[in-house]
Homo-oligomer: A and B are copies of this chain.
Amino acid sequence: MPLVVRNIPRADSGVIDALAGYGVATVHEAQGRIGLLAAYMRPIYQPAAIAGSAVTCSVAPGDNWTIHVAVEQCKAGDILVVAPTSPCEDGYFGDLLATSLKARGVRGLIIDAGVRDVAVLTEMGFPVWSKAIYAQGTVKETLGDVNLPMVCANALINPGDVIVADDDGVCVVRRADAAKVAEAAAKREANEGDKRARFEAGELGLDIYGMRERLAERGLKYVDEPPKG
């Protein structure tokens, strides 16, 4: 029986905004290299970079009815996350739904399926990460669930988890971990700033990271000319 969960916990908005600033690669590293959605999830325009609270929505293949149900559960600062119950690249979402979400303050859409009206979405500045761009329309016959845990593009998403998305892809951060991940990301970024200056000055990673000794231990051999044969 299809279910909609009305109340979901959300992470602190300051923490969410901080995660948006660090970006997907840094956040993913900061939480131990976990949480990435599949590499085929690409933004419809670049650059784009957002973070927000996940409202989850499962849909039947070729059927976007549940998205209309999910919109009502979205609040300002949320990101709608949609996954079909079997793989489908139809265009579940277009400019009218984007207008509706934008009117509610929703920051973007993550959809493991197709999207359409991308020229209008680009003009509107409503960012979408999707598996495909495809004009194929959908029906409204079969219902999925809203705000239940769900796998999207090979990652588990719980309602209220923090989604971070930018030109590198999409990452999920468990709500309970968001603050400590933001802290770890801040440290990582500070550290990277130092390194960036040293790299700009021509220092090598081999020296900055002190790799030379370990390379020798692993038997790395330098020769002046390529071996014969």
Chain A interface residues (CB < 8 Å from chain B): 1-8, 23-25, 28-29, 33-34, 36, 38-39, 42, 46-47, 49, 60-63, 65, 68-69, 71-72, 85-91, 94-97, 99-100, 103-104, 114, 116-119, 122, 132-137, 139-143, 147-149, 151, 153-156, 159, 166-169, 171, 176, 192, 195-196, 199-206, 209, 211, 215, 218-227, 229
Contact B143 A220 (CB under 8 A): yes
Q: Which of B122, B136, B159, B205 contacts A97 (CB 8 A)?
A: B205
| A-B CB contact pairs (8 Å), 20 listed | A1-B221, A4-B222, A6-B224, A7-B224, A25-B135, A36-B136, A61-B61, A69-B206, A72-B204, A96-B199, A100-B203, A103-B202, A116-B168, A119-B166, A139-B142, A141-B142, A143-B219, A149-B156, A151-B155, A159-B226
**Across the interface, which residues of B come within 8 angstroms of A169, CB to CB?**
133-135
Nearest CB on B from A66, distance (A): 9
Given A68-B209, A143-B215, CB of A117 within 8 Å of CB of B62: no
> Provided the pairs A86-B136, A87-B39 are in contact, do residues A201 and B25 lie with their beta carbons within 8 angstroms?
no
Contact A225 B7 (CB under 8 A): yes
Is B143 touching A141 in the complex (CB atoms < 8 A)?
A: no
Q: Are B118 and A167 in contact (CB under 8 A)?
A: yes
B223 touches A3 (CB 8 A): yes
Within the assembled complex, what's the spacing in Å between the Cα atoms of A60 and B88?
A: 12
Q: Is the CB of A24 within 8 A of B135?
A: yes
Q: Which residue of B lies closest to A158 (CB)?
A: B226
Number of copies: 6
A143 touches B218 (CB 8 A): yes
Question: Which of A4, A6, A86 counts the most B-chain CB atoms under 10 A from its CB?
Answer: A86
Least CB distance from A103 to B in Å reads 5
Nearest-neighbour CB distance to chain B for A12, whole angstroms, equals: 17
Query: Contacts A1-B219, A87-B89, A95-B196 known; A147 to B226 CB distance under 8 Å?
Result: yes
